[in-house]
Amino acid sequence: MNELSIEEEKALVSDAKDGDKRALARLVEAYQEPIYHTALKMTKNQEDAEDVLQETFMTMVEKLHQFRGDARLYTWLYRIAVNNVYKRTRTTQKHEAMDIDDPDVQHIHGENLSAWPETEKLLGEREWIRDVLADALNELPEKYRTIFVLRDIQGLSIKETQEILNISESNVKVRLMRARHYLRDKLSASLEEGVHYE
């Protein structure tokens, strides 16, 4: 992410609300890459990801005056992008609602979230590991894939992810743990089978 400080972001949002097109362009420039990559990982389709990106920033331009600044702008943009992805996937597959009272919370206690290796390190490993991880990520149910993309690929915090998805912190942690378990099992199975794509 072309990181903006809180002060820079607030100043640019204020100027953009006043009609400053350069400020608006700077906001788009700062956040278009992470929004696009998030959409791509979620939709698994370049064309859909580009459409989600365009729709997200069109919504920003149209509704920036409604942005109150209670959270960071990029949190608001991620929420718009995720909603745009869900609108698209609803037409092709059954959408899994993200319930605040997810029963999964009852099944995982005291798990160590730090047990999962850093995703950047995994993605930097051999190409076959990246391929296995990408295939496994595509197989994840949408609600788990979304959490993994936001937390472990985009590097957002638990709190930011919670705000974007409007679910409880415990649900973020549980879904992230389930996603990591699934992906870890897929990687382990591939290692045991000696699968190589090189």
CA distance readout (Å), 170 to 30, 153, 175: 30, 19, 9
Measuring CA to CA, which residue among 172, 160, 169 is closest to residue 77? 160
Which architecture, in CATH terms, is 103-193?
Orthogonal Bundle (1.10)
**Residue in this structure with the two tokens 């389709």, named with its chain if needed:** 45
Q: Look up residue 68 and give its amino acid.
A: R
Residue boundaries of the structural domains of the chain:
6-92, 103-193
Q: What are the angstrom distances between the C-alpha of 135 and each of 27, 87, 139, 147?
A: 33, 23, 7, 16
Tracing tokens 């972001």 back to the chain, one arrives at 9
Among candidates 142, 156, 152, which has minimal Cα distance to 177?
Answer: 152
126 falls in which pLDDT band (50, 70, 90)? low
- pLDDT tens digit sequence for 135-192: 888 888 888 999 999 998 899 999 999 999 999 999 999 999 999 888 888 777 766 6
Structure tokens at 53: 């990106």
Which CATH architecture does the domain made up of 6-92 adopt?
A: Orthogonal Bundle (1.10)
pLDDT tier at 93, thresholds 50, 70, 90? low
Average pLDDT over residues 10-37: 95
